[in-house]
Structure 1
Amino acid sequence: MHPHPILIVEDSDEDFEAIGWAMRRLGRHDPLERCQDGDEATERLLDRARPWPRLVLLDLNLPGTDGREVLALIRRDPYLRPLPVVVLSTSASDEDVNACYELGVNAYLIKPVNFEQFTEQLRVTLDFWLGLARLPDPPERA
């Protein structure tokens, strides 16, 4: 098992469970770590004692600190900046998409409502980010 988890920042229990179901269906056993809101994600990401995530799947509409603020924090922090961040959102608004790319998101995906489509979207995303893409090594802890 890889020591670096996929960090899922998702307040919806249903959406988080759907990710777990889809991953099991795909035969993936990547370790998952969940933060249920932006404040928890911020605290988690700033804790240098915790393993660096391999990938961050980030919902935008979160209670408290929202996904845009979490993304801005990641891109402002030299230690976190190299992290690959993929937004998974129900929002198809051009304003949200453009704002996330301006903040430095690696990809913006709209969550499909259909579970089969969601599973396929997750398969392609994980195959790319955890299979094809060469990811940066975690930086030395400061």
Structure 2
Amino acid sequence: LLRFLLSRDAMLSLVGVPRAQRKQIEMYYQGGVAKYVQDCVEAVFAKLPISDNYFWRVYITGSYTRECCPEYLKEENFYKLKGGLVDRITTHTNTVEGFLVENDVAISKYVLLDHMDWLAGRFFPLLEAEWQA
């Protein structure tokens, strides 16, 4: 039953896994989607201490600790942000290539989330263009 459910696009979409990413796992991960999920769950709950993983810690306990929290909430970094560093943060909804074409600025950090998973299946030429940019 688990293997059947994990092979359905709708089931994996509920946990944020797009079809293109599922197909990649099916093709390249030995054991397929079921083994991938098993290995991920094992890594998160059996191998990675909750004290090091603030994502799961907040879900399981409902709170962060001073030592186990996102970087922006750590005391020294929080005060840096409050002291004006936050004004240097900008957000952009664009492709990587589009941003680079439209902006001639230095970039110190960026977050791509999982957009490459979404581009890989149907828009691979766009993904290649981003890599080149």
Q: TM-score range by the shorter chain?
A: under 0.3
Question: Which protein is richer in helix relative to its size?
Answer: 2
Query: Which entry has the higher C-alpha Rg, 1 or 2?
Result: 2
Q: Normalising by structure 1, what TM-score?
A: 0.24
Question: Which protein is richer in strand relative to its size?
Answer: 1
Q: Normalising by structure 2, what TM-score?
A: 0.26
